Amino acid sequence: MTFSVATWNINSVRLRFPQVKRFLARFSPDVLCLQETKCPDDKFPLNDFKKLGYEHIAIHGQKGYHGVAVIARHPFEDQTRNFFCGKNDARHVSVTFERKAKLDKPLTIHNFYVPAGGDIPDPSLNVKFEHKLRFLDELATCSVAQDAKKGTRAILVGDLNVAPREHDVWSHKQMLKVVSHTPVEVEKFEHARNAGRWIDVMRGFVPDDQKLYTWWSYRAADNWKQADRGRRLDHVWASSALEGAAQSMKVFKPSRGWQQPSDHVPVIAEFAL
């Protein structure tokens, strides 16, 4: 069967539900993973999603900040929340599909929101950057990575807040000292990916020498498209057990031009399971 997964940092699920509804009407992915929902669990618009045919929802939220959600058209067997850096700041939720979704083998979807890291790329001066580096270190050693390395079928998506490759940013040279593309972040990011033997699904469809962005700053509100100073902060990884399963990948850039847009755009990947 074909199984599609979309990831989108929505920057407030309640404020931007109309955009989500529009996206779901057009693409109807099996699973939509949202980050920065900025919504406590008891305020999440569950019924609005259920009316659209997405009746199976796992949420990990808090008031005003962060928050992740997995919204699915198919029932899942269970859900899990992992915590990092000794904090309960709503940055991970996962669900596992199997028989209820008519799959022969389990498939776990992990949804992450990695800390942005602030503006100063020095952990001794910036506690937010220090938190981000610790988070990436833990991502390399946590059970999520260990299970993927052992051969479980897993897909990891989310706003991972690192643009690791030269053409994941508009100017590699100018971005080397900017949080999200600094060498220390890239090193820890790639260590985490390699520790779980994760496959970079997006770059499997777009060669390394081509630009690939998922985020454009609000600071360029009027000319973001013309300037095209983007970064690839949103990612889709697949465990080695799913090698060769990815069938397509799309970055839906038009949503950045919608009314009251998120600064991120959705990424959709399709897998043959």
Give dist(CA 246, CA 242) in Å, integer: 8
Confirm if 245 and 236 have CB atoms less than 8 A apart.
no
C-alpha–C-alpha distance, residues 155 and 32, integer Å: 12
Task: Give tens-digit pLDDT for 177-202.
Answer: 999 999 999 999 999 999 999 999 99
What is the chain's mean pLDDT, rounded?
97
Query: 179, 121 in Cβ contact below 8 A?
Result: yes
- Please tell me what DSSP assigns to residue 137: H
Q: Encode pLDDT of 13-64 as tens digits.
A: 999 999 999 999 999 999 999 999 999 999 999 999 999 999 999 999 999 9
Q: Let me know the angle formed at the C-alpha of 27 by 26 and 29, rounded to the nearest 5 degrees.
A: 145
Fold of the CATH domain 2-272: Deoxyribonuclease I; Chain A (3.60.10)
pLDDT score recorded for residue 77: 97
Interval 225-233 mean pLDDT: 95
The whole-model pTM stands at 0.98
In this prediction, residue 163 carries a pLDDT of 98
Arithmetic mean of pLDDT, 95-103: 97
Q: Give the model's confidence band at 271: pLDDT under 50 very low, under 70 low, under 90 confident, else very high.
A: very high
The reported pLDDT for the residue numbered 222 is 76
Give the model's confidence band at 166: pLDDT under 50 very low, under 70 low, under 90 confident, else very high. very high
Q: How confident is the model at residue 223 (pLDDT cuts 50, 70, 90)?
A: confident
Q: Mean pLDDT, to the nearest integer, of 79-89?
A: 96
pLDDT at 189: 98
Percent of residues, the chain, with pLDDT higher than 70: 100
Q: How far apart are the first and last CA of the chain?
A: 5
Q: Which of 266, 146, 272 is nearest to 213 (CA)?
A: 266
- Crossing angle of the two packed helices 183-195 and 143-150, in degrees rounded to 10: 50
